[in-house]
Structure 1
C-alpha cells in the first residue's frame, strides 16, 4: 500500500472508477511531434482547462509554485516522445510517494516562473537547463495543499543525464506521451470524504523495467491527483480545434 500525504489519508487505487472517457478522441500522433507542439503553443487554440482546482482545500496559506512538464524527444525524428515523471520520496511532508512532475515553490531569487521550474528540475533529477527548450505554459492549477502551480512545458534532449536527489525523489521514469494523451487511459474517481465530495483523474501506467540480469519487472505507476489533472489539461489544450485565423 502506498504511503499517502495528510491531505489524502486513503489509498486512491481502492476508490472506484466512476467513468472512463472512451468516447473522446486521442490526440493524433502527428500533433505530438516537437514541431507540432511548438506550433500549438505559438498559436494556441480557444480552449478552457478542465481542472483548475482540487475539490478539497487544506486551509494552508497559498504558495506560488511551478512544475516542469518534461517531454523527452525519444525515437527517430523524436516520433516517440515521453513524459518524464518522478515518484516523490516517502518522507516528504506533502504528496509523499506520489507521482509528480519535477517542481516546487517559487524562490524569491527566481527570475520568473520558468526559472523556478528549471531550477527545481535540476535540483530534483539533475536535468540541466541547457537540455530543455521551454515552449509554453498551461493555466495555473490549485492543489488541495494550497499550491498555485504553473505547469511549464519543455522539450528535453534525450541525451540528458539524470540523477535523482534522494532527499526528494525515490525514482525517475518515463511514460509515452501518446498514452497520456489518450482519454481511454483517463479514469475518473469520486468519493465522499469529511463531508465533501472529492473527485480526481487517474492514469495508471504499467511500466516494464529491466533489472541487471535482464529480467523484466512490471511496475504500476499510479498517476493521479494534481499530476493527472495537469495532464488532462494538456490533453484538452492539444485536442482543441485550432484557432481560425481571419483572412485579410
Structure 2
C-alpha cells in the first residue's frame, strides 16, 4: 500500500493543466458559472483497484455511463472533497472512515456545466460495495495498471447536438470508460508516467 500511496502522492505534485470536455473543440462556449462537484477516485489500498460505477439506465443525466462516485456540492457539504465522500457513501456504500484522502487534481469542466474536482484516495480495510438502488446499476473495479498506463487511452468521437465531439476512452473488458471520467483518468495517467 505504501508504494501505491507514494505513486499517487507524486502524481498529485505533478502538473497536467486544466482539463475540459471541450479539450478537442476549436470553439468552446464562453465562460459560464460552473457548479462545483467532487468525484472520488478511490483505489483499494491492498489491490490497487479503482472503484467505478455504471450509472442506472433510467437516470436523466448520463444514463448507463461509467463514472467515478460523486456529484455536485450540496449546501451541507464543506467543499468538493466532502461532496465526493458523501456521494461515494450514498452511491456505493463506502464508509468515509475507510477513506484516506490524498489530495485533489484540478477541476474538470463538463459539458453539463460542472467544475468536477477529482479527489484521489485510498480505501483501507474490507469494502463490499452496495450500489444505490435507482442510481447505480453496477459497481466494479479496474486494475491500477490499466488506469496508470497512458497507452490504454485513445481518442474517439461522435456527433452530439449537431457537431462532432471528440473525447478520450479507456475501455476495460465490457466497460466503455469515456468522456469526463476517461479524461480525468488520462490526466492522472500522464501524471503517474511523468
Fold shared per TM-score above 0.5? yes
The alpha carbon displacement at 1:63 in A equals 1.8
Look at both structures and tell me which one has the larger radius of gyration over its CA atoms.
Answer: 1
Q: C-alpha offsets along residues 39-70 of structure 1, whole Å, 9 cap, x if unaligned?
A: 543xx13x22373343477x997321110011
Q: C-alpha offsets along residues 98-144 of structure 1, whole Å, 9 cap, x if unaligned?
A: 00000011011112221111000001010000110000101110111
Counterpart position of 1:62: 34
How far apart, in 1, do the equivalents of 2:32 and 2:91 lie? 24
How far apart, in 2, do the equivalents of 1:92 and 1:193 lie? 19
Count matched residues. 189
How far apart, in 1, do the equivalents of 2:32 and 2:175 lie? 28
Unpaired segments of 5 or more residues in structure 2?
A: none
Q: Residue 232 of structure 1 is aligned with which of 170, 186, 189? A: 186
2:18 and 2:107 in contact (8 A); partners too: no
How far apart, in 1, do the equivalents of 2:161 and 2:59 lie? 23
- Classify 1:158/1:228 alpha carbon distance in 2 versus 1 (closer, same or farther; 3 Å): farther
Q: Residue 4 of structure 2 is aligned with which of 16, 30, 33? A: 33
How far apart, in 2, do the equivalents of 1:32 and 1:190 lie? 36
Counterpart position of 2:17: 49
- Classify 1:48/1:37 alpha carbon distance in 2 versus 1 (closer, same or farther; 3 Å): closer
How far apart, in 1, do the equivalents of 2:111 and 2:16 lie? 20
- Structure 2 residue 171 is the aligned partner of structure 1 residue 204: yes
2:52 and 2:141 in contact (8 A); partners too: yes
2:70 and 2:84 in contact (8 A); partners too: yes
The alpha carbon displacement at 1:195 in A equals 4.8
TM-score (norm 2): 0.87
2:18 and 2:108 in contact (8 A); partners too: no
TM-score (norm 1): 0.69
